[in-house]
A and B are shown apart, each in its own frame.
Chain A
Amino acid sequence: MLPDTLHELPRHERFAYAKLLAFVTNIDDEITIDEMTVFEQRLGTALLSPSQRKEIRAYLKNPPTLKECLDDLGPVSGRLALRDAALMSAADGNIDEDEQAVLEEIAVSIGLDEGIVDQLLDWVLKGYDWMQDGLDLLNIE
């Protein structure tokens, strides 16, 4: 995934963004390798310092509350966090009820309609098709 606007946000908002992703990885009480790769990818895009990354990874074991995450997010970082939380939640091929409910709760908390979650999940699927096209193009198995 290409960088877009996340790296331009103030550092404290990028940290809050990553904190929310750490929270979301814990919703179903297990972190799959697929979720972890997306989590680490987005953490990289956020250009956090090594110490901040360490702090964020600690949240994987001791997740913050959703309210703590939402309090620190700005309007743009909140929306990017929702988008990338959807991307990450879908990475293992399943969105369970708990994950869907939390994504919808995040959407409503940042002032969006909960229906946006389904739109984002459709968008995620298109992205995985795009990734597969890239592999097919180069005959990479």
Chain B
Amino acid sequence: MSGMLPDAIDTLEPREKELYIELLTVLANADGALVREEMAALEAFMGRALLRPEVREETRQKLRNPRDLDSLLALTNEKTLRIALRDSVLLAAADGEYHPEEILVLEKMAHHAGVDADALDALYDWVTEGWKWLAKGRSTIDVNIAGDELLNDN
């Protein structure tokens, strides 16, 4: 097999990883409700970033009172912002729909990361492709969920 790759998140410094995950907490809070799917996604992102247990605990605390988005954007470099934008779109999609408040946060993050509207639209399409890929995996093991039939047909 070939073609495996480390993700860009692995190249971030610890401080940048903390800013990355804080940005995700802002997105998670954007619509005022944190559902189980979003919590599972956020925990997965923390795990993927190999954050230390104490940072994960701090992050869970911040979910109740996240920092102001503008101040976080001012502290974060462009590369970290772009990775956070990508994973924020995934996080926003975790419960099956994008809420207007989430879209506002995503658009602001994209603007600060130098990502234009077309690229942001392409990112939404990329997430849809990810849903299709996951549905294909579920279909392979015959563990389908509601809506998979639509993703597998298209």
List residues of chain A with CB under 8 Å of any chain B CB. Answer: 1-8, 33-34, 36-47, 50, 76, 79-80, 82-83, 90-95, 112, 116, 119-121, 123, 125-135, 137-141
Q: Say whether B3 contacts A2, CB under 8 Å.
A: no
Residues of A within 8 Å of B43, CB to CB, are 44-45, 47
Residues of A within 8 Å of B79, CB to CB, are 140
Using A45-B47, A47-B43, A137-B119 as known contacts, list a sample of 12 further A-B pairs with CB atoms less than 8 Å apart, ordered by residue number in A.
Answer: A4-B138, A7-B37, A45-B41, A47-B39, A50-B53, A79-B143, A91-B4, A93-B4, A95-B1, A112-B141, A121-B1, A138-B115
In the complex, what distance in Å separates the CA atom of A46 from the CA atom of B43?
A: 9
In the complex, chain B residues 20-48 whose Cβ is within 8 Å of any chain A Cβ: 36-37, 39-48
Chain B interface size, as a band, is 35 or more
Q: Could you write out 6 A-B pairs with CB less than 8 Å apart?
A: A1-B134, A2-B131, A3-B40, A44-B48, A119-B140, A133-B129
In the complex, what distance in Å separates the CA atom of A119 from the CA atom of B9?
A: 28
In the complex, chain B residues 115-154 whose Cβ is within 8 Å of any chain A Cβ: 115, 119, 122-123, 126, 129-131, 133-134, 136-138, 140-143, 145
